Structure 1
Amino acid sequence: MENLIKLETEGGVMHDFLPWLIEGFEILAAVIDIAAIILLLIGAARFLTGVTIAEIAKKGAERVRRTNRERIELGRYILAGLELFIVSDVIHTAISLRFADLLFLLMLVIIRSITSFFLDRELEQLKKELGDD
């Protein structure tokens, strides 16, 4: 039973003969993580700027429409960031060779996919309310 739970390998061809390639993939995954974080921060900054301008400059229904447009824009940044995080997680898991990491990746992808699905639905609803295509 213990062997079934501990499904870990000692190393693969890349780990044994191409350690520099593994290190390169680790660096690439880290760069992708940083790019995703930067993308999310840009989206948050644009959202805060847009909502602040909408609150100051607009009144009533136009303010709500402008805020909803900013929410759609923020949602696009979040979805793009989630996609980049999934790419990075796949790279980390591919070079890890541990079954526990594969299960962790599966859970992350499921959670991020569900989040993306519901966020995309909310964005579509906002677009319909705004009359945008």
Structure 2
Amino acid sequence: MDIHLVLEWLIWIVDGFSVLVIIWGVVVAAFMFFKSEFAKKAVTDKMISRQLIRAKLGSYILLGLEILIAADIIGTIANPSINEIVLLAVTVLIRTFISFFLNREIKEAQELAQDQA
């Protein structure tokens, strides 16, 4: 079996897994959101719950982005051209930038939820 074909399949699997992780995070966050919103809690408790839900969803999105970066690295190994390397560098830079700010927002949401608790 050709190694490039195996790597292409591996890229599809890893990409698909990253999408599943993000979708799962959305499902978990939606479940938590509806559970919190329909519970008989004080408004401030619901605000705390929303901050924690945002942090949880953000963590799933971050994990999905990290898995996508792994798929891009595998793709560059499969096709190591200068074009692919530059594309990988730009993609990793953009995703790292997004991850940095998303991670910062998750920490802020957790701290806000702890302060309000």
So what's the TM-score if we normalise by structure 2? Answer: 0.91
Q: Percent identity?
A: 27
Alignment match, 1:44: 26
Aligned residues: 114
SS state of the match for residue 2, structure 2? helix
Asked if residue 101 in structure 1 is aligned to residue 84 in structure 2, the reply is yes
Alignment match, 2:108: 125
Larger Rg: 1
Alignment match, 2:11: 29
Shift of the alpha carbon at 1:76? 0.9
SS state of the match for residue 91, structure 1? helix
Shift of the alpha carbon at 1:59? 3.2
Shift of the alpha carbon at 1:28? 1.0
Q: Note the 1:1-133 alignment, pairs <5 A.
A: 20-57=2-39, 58-131=41-114
User: 2:64 & 2:103 partners in 1: Cα distance?
Assistant: 13
Shift of the alpha carbon at 1:128? 1.3
- What value does the CA root-mean-square deviation take over the aligned residues? 1.4
SS state of the match for residue 131, structure 1? helix
User: 1:70 & 1:95 partners in 2: Cα distance?
Assistant: 38
User: 1:119 & 1:40 partners in 2: Cα distance?
Assistant: 14
